[in-house]
Amino acid sequence: MRLNLFTLGDCTNVNTWSNLPYYFYQSLRVQHSVTVRPVNLVPPQTASYRAFSRLMAFRTRAIRLIHSDHQYDPLRSALYHAVVNRRLRFTVGRHSDVDLNLFLTFSFSSYQYARVPVVHYCDRTYEHHLEETGRTPTRSDRDFIRIEQNNIENADLVLSTDQICCDFINSRYKPKRAFCLRPGINTQTDVQDPDRLIARKESSTDILFIGRGAYKRGVDILIRAFKMFNDRHARRFTLHIVGVQPVELPQELRGTDPKIRFYGYLDRSNPGDFRLYDDLVCAAKIFVMPMRPSPFPGVIRELQLHCTPVIASNVSGTSEFLAHGRDSVLVDGLEPQEFAYHMDRLIHHRLEWRQLAWNGHVSSRNLTWMNTVQKFRGIIGDSNLVKSEGSTAVVRGV
């Protein structure tokens, strides 16, 4: 099987879009009968593109100055789409000797430019995201939603990282052809001795949060919960926050607290940042993640693989991935008192803490990207998009 892998960012870089493109690409390319050509849809940083980016930034500032509550996103604008589609059309014309065009986004598609089957694999549609967050679509939002809908309805196969998105697509768009393909765990380290790791974490006083983008919106709740919790324990615990800086928090939470440490974004392609990230993961006694509605964060599974009990919000289908009381603690609502209570309870109940640490590891250890790729190939085979290994592509109707 030969395929073009289209991503918004460099899939050979571990930092691109929550690491998923990197791990998916690396797992695909080691398959003996799969040939992958990575294609970055983001234009190269030429002088003309930098000038274009400055123009987009100026336009964004102007719109938000006039409309302070406007949610305008230049990456979803018609102008940006025109630039990327021009690049996309050239690429698919030049590289048409494939069985599939695989897009790790719903925002762009080659169905208009090539007679090669199109497959999409992503987490959420933009329409689904807006409904989850309760935001009313603007005119530009509605234009972008129509683009994604056309891409999905003209695709030969649609895959999502979770079942809720598949149900949304199958209920809203035609024809119904969305399937769930769970991602593997984005980790570069293996857990060879879980018992030893659990023993190390048992004596730890470190609480951990890792999150960017939509997931950082729960940090304010976590900080309030941690302060309540830590006051009950003579302030002997330390909260480590990765992916967020104090300036991103409400003013009243930016005060200096030696028991709360911020690391900002850690670049795992950088050896120093990777070692720090790995040390934090392996030392954490509890991972706590208050969340507003958003796709399930894969970092939870990474922490579970590393024998870390998880306390998370029961939102966005979290219960499809986690089993409350067995491998995690799921909290209804976003009250800091509730998160503080469950943190306190796990510290006092050593046996429950150990059970969550072990069960979380067991439930996650088979969630590898190699297994995900095998399932992907099985879905492709069942869909008859590729006649046989090494054959020419099934030509789609145009």
Query: pLDDT tens across 301-320, in order?
Result: 999 999 999 999 998 678 88
- Give me the domains of the chain, ranges plus CATH numbers: 2-184+368-382 (3.40.50.2000), 194-364 (3.40.50.2000)
Query: pLDDT tens across 43-59, in order?
Result: 776 676 677 667 766 76
pLDDT above 50 for 398: no
Q: In whole angstroms, what is the distance from residue 186 CA to residue 163 CA?
A: 19
pLDDT above 80 for 69: no
Report the predicted TM-score, pTM, of the whole model to 2 decimal places: 0.84
Angle between helices 350-364 and 336-348 (to 10 degrees): 100
As a whole number of Å, the end-to-end CA separation of the chain is 22
Query: pLDDT tens across 127-168, in order?
Result: 998 888 888 888 888 989 999 999 999 999 999 998 889 999
Rg of the chain over all Cα atoms, to the nearest angstrom? 22
Q: In whole angstroms, what is the distance from residue 100 CA to residue 103 CA?
A: 10
pLDDT above 80 for 112: yes
pLDDT above 70 for 393: no
How much is the average pLDDT of 64-90?
72
Query: pLDDT tens across 188-233, in order?
Result: 888 989 999 999 999 999 999 998 766 677 899 999 999 999 999 9
Per DSSP, helices labelled H in the chain are 20-29, 47-66, 78-94, 126-133, 139-153, 163-172, 194-202, 219-231, 271-283, 298-305, 318-321, 336-348, 350-364, 369-382
Q: Which residues of 6-28 are buried (b: 16+ CB within 10 A; e: fewer)?
A: bbbbebebbbbbbbbbbbbbbbb
Contact 27, 373 (CB under 8 A): yes
Query: pLDDT tens across 266-305, in order?
Result: 988 899 999 999 999 999 999 999 988 777 888 999 999 9
